[in-house]
């Protein structure tokens, strides 16, 4: 088979992979598409994993379609529970053990790995990370009958889970080395508002402290913090961050930075290999959010169906799903010249980052100000102007 007759191969069936396949089919019903996933191929929206307890949804209820339905809907071939073991860019082949699958174009949409802390102790079986629907399924089972959950990390996911589990009726304690919520995303005044909002919901925080050791204790665990404190909990969530999966790309000789490096056409450093979503560093940006990957999927679908199209990132505020203190943020570009101007009323914060010429470059709004996010989004320049 010549490589042009081979299918477009997409590795990964998360939001990136399936959105790309759906977009390809809007332009082209016929080109064969083969998708490969290490999980069971259920279609689901990852942001919904952060509101599952509030809405009391099981993993099955969050799944929008199973693999068989997706195969039919999209007119694709799909291999589930299949681990790709390598890529041979010169031969245009994907390796699955001894098997070699040819591709015409290859798309890497395999996401990011959770960062795992190096913890001591004999209670690590009770520590969970929730990064996909199968993790969510496992965790739901693990907290059946549990009362108290400890969360390591006060980033976006740690805060969203804290709010969600509290809404689900659990006692929640958050341990994080930072001094406020989401320090990488929010100015401190907005992070403090989220912390206060969560505290008012009954979430306890241990900030400026890290977990060193997790020991088994009864059916749960005892956490030892580096400030000498100990905490008891039934189960533990580790939410200390994500790292784009780059290992196999690097082994195949692709250019890799913080993510798999691609240009605005989503091309990697090798011909006919593309990347998008949580594994990709797009034109220097690593943005592990929904709106960027949707933009990439739309542009790449056009490129793959004969209309080369650069992705153009617009203004993409990040919505933080903490209903006790709704929050939206559009961080200013790194190293921007300017300063934050803050209006505050309790947990409602409007922080505007303005350049010396008053141009709005970024914003963070919480509480009652959160509804201004769309109006503010119209004032800031897009990432790709």
DSSP annotation of 194 reads H
Interface with another protein, residue 382, by CB under 8 A: no
Task: Verify binding: residue 280, another protein, rule CB under 8 A.
Answer: no
51 contacts another protein (rule: CB under 8 A): yes
Which residue, 55 or 100, is less far from another protein as judged by CB?
A: 55
The label of the residue with tokens 């990132």 reads 313
Should residue 371 be labelled a site residue for another protein when binding is judged by CB under 8 A?
yes
Assign 47 to helix, strand or coil.
helix
* 102: helix, strand or coil: strand
- Distance, CA of 275 to CA of 161 (rounded, Å): 29
Which CB, 275 or 294, lies closer to another protein?
294
Shortest spacing between CB 345 and another protein, in angstroms? 19
Checking phi first, is residue 379 left (phi over 0); if not, alpha (psi -120 to 50) or beta?
Answer: alpha
3-state secondary structure of 46: helix
Q: Which is nearer to another protein, 210 or 316 (CB)?
A: 316
What lies within 8 Å, CB to CB, of 48 at 6+ separation is 57, 62
**β-strand pairing of 339-345 with 242-244:** unpaired
User: Considering the rule CB under 8 A, would residue 69 count as an interface residue with another protein?
Assistant: no
Residue span binding another protein (CB under 8 A) among the ranges 79-87, 212-220, 221-229, 366-374: 366-374
Piece of 45-53, 135-143, 188-196, 269-277 that binds another protein (CB under 8 A): 45-53
CB of 19 to another protein, least distance (A): 9
Total residues contacting another protein by CB under 8 A comes to 19
Give CA–CA dist 12/36, Å, rounded: 6
Contact window for another protein (CB under 8 A) among 31-39, 221-229, 240-248, 316-324: 316-324
Residue of 213, 285, 298, 384 that binds another protein (CB under 8 A): 298
Which window, 42-50, 95-103, 158-166, 361-369, contacts another protein (CB under 8 A)?
42-50
Q: Check residue 47 for interaction with another protein (CB under 8 A).
A: yes
Using CB under 8 A as the binding rule, whether residue 290 contacts another protein is answered as yes
DSSP characters for 363-374? EEEEGGGGGGHH
What tokens does 64 get? Answer: 């929008």
Three-class SS state of 72:
helix
- Does residue number 265 form part of the binding site for another protein (CB under 8 A)? no
Regarding 291 and contact with another protein (CB under 8 A), the answer is: yes
Contact pick of 233, 321, 322, 325 for another protein (by CB under 8 A): 321
Helix ranges (DSSP H) in the chain: 15-27, 59-62, 67-74, 133-142, 156-167, 188-200, 247-251, 290-304, 373-377
Cβ(214)–Cβ(124) below 8 Å? yes
User: Measuring CA to CA, which residue among 45, 82, 51 is closest to residue 320?
Assistant: 51
Name the residue nearer to another protein (CB basis): 15 or 214.
15
- Cβ atoms of 124 and 29 within 8 Å: the answer is no
User: How big is the chain, counted in residues?
Assistant: 385
For position 319 contacting another protein by CB under 8 A, the verdict is yes
Are the C-beta atoms of residues 271 and 91 closer than 8 Å to each other?
no
Closest CA to 211 of 227, 193, 235: 227
Q: How far is the CB of 115 from another protein (least distance, A)?
A: 24
Window 11-30: residues binding another protein (CB under 8 A): 15
Q: Is 109 in the site for another protein (CB under 8 A)?
A: no
Does residue number 114 form part of the binding site for another protein (CB under 8 A)?
Answer: no
Nearer Cβ to another protein (47/184): 47
**141 sits near another protein (criterion: CB under 8 A):** no
Considering only the stretches 32-40, 43-51, 188-196, 207-215, report the one whose residues sit in contact with another protein under the rule CB under 8 A.
43-51
Confirm or reject binding of residue 316 to another protein (CB under 8 A). yes
Name the residues that contact another protein, by CB under 8 A: 15, 45, 47-48, 51, 55, 64, 290-291, 294, 298, 316-317, 319, 321, 328, 371, 373-374
């Amino acid at each position: 088979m010549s490589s042009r007759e081979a299918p477009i191969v997409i590795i990964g069936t998360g939001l990136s992979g399936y959105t790309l396949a759906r977009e390809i089919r809007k332009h082209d019903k016929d080109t064969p598409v083969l998708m490969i996933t290490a999980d069971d191929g259920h279609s689901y929206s990852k942001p919904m994993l952060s509101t599952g307890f509030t809405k009391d949804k099981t993993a099955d209820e969050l799944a929008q379609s199973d693999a068989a339905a997706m195969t039919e809907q999209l007119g694709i071939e799909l291999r589930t529970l299949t681990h790709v073991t390598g890529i041979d860019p010169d031969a245009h082949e994907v390796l699955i053990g001894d098997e070699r699958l040819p591709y015409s174009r290859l798309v890497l949409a395999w996401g990011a790995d959770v960062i795992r802390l190096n913890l001591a102790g004999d209670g690590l079986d009770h520590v969970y990370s929730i990064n996909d629907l199968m993790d969510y399924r496992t965790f739901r089972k693990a907290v059946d009958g549990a009362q108290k959950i400890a969360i390591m990390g006060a980033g976006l996911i740690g805060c969203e889970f804290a709010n969600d589990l509290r809404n689900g009726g659990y006692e929640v304690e958050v341990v994080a080395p930072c001094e406020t919520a989401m320090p990488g995303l929010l100015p401190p005044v907005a992070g403090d508002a989220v912390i206060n909002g969560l505290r008012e919901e009954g979430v306890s925080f241990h900030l400026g402290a890290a977990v060193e050791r997790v020991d088994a204790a009864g059916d749960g665990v005892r956490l030892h913090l580096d400030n000498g404190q100990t905490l008891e909990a039934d189960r533990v969530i580790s939410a200390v961050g994500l790292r784009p999966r780059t290992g196999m790309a690097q082994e195949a000789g692709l250019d890799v930075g913080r993510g798999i490096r691609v240009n605005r056409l989503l091309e990697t450093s090798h011909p006919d290999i593309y990347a998008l979503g949580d594994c990709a560093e797009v034109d220097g940006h690593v943005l592990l959010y929904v709106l960027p990957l949707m933009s990439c999927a739309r542009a790449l679908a056009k490129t793959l169906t004969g209309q080369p199209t650069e992705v153009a990132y617009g203004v993409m505020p990040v919505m933080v799903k903490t209903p006790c203190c709704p929050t939206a943020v559009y961080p200013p570009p790194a190293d921007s010249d300017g300063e934050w101007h803050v209006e505050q009323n309790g947990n409602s914060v409007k922080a505007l980052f303005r350049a010396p010429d008053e141009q709005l470059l970024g914003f963070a709004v919480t509480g009652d100000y959160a509804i201004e996010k769309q109006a503010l989004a119209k004032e800031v320049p897009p990432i790709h102007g």
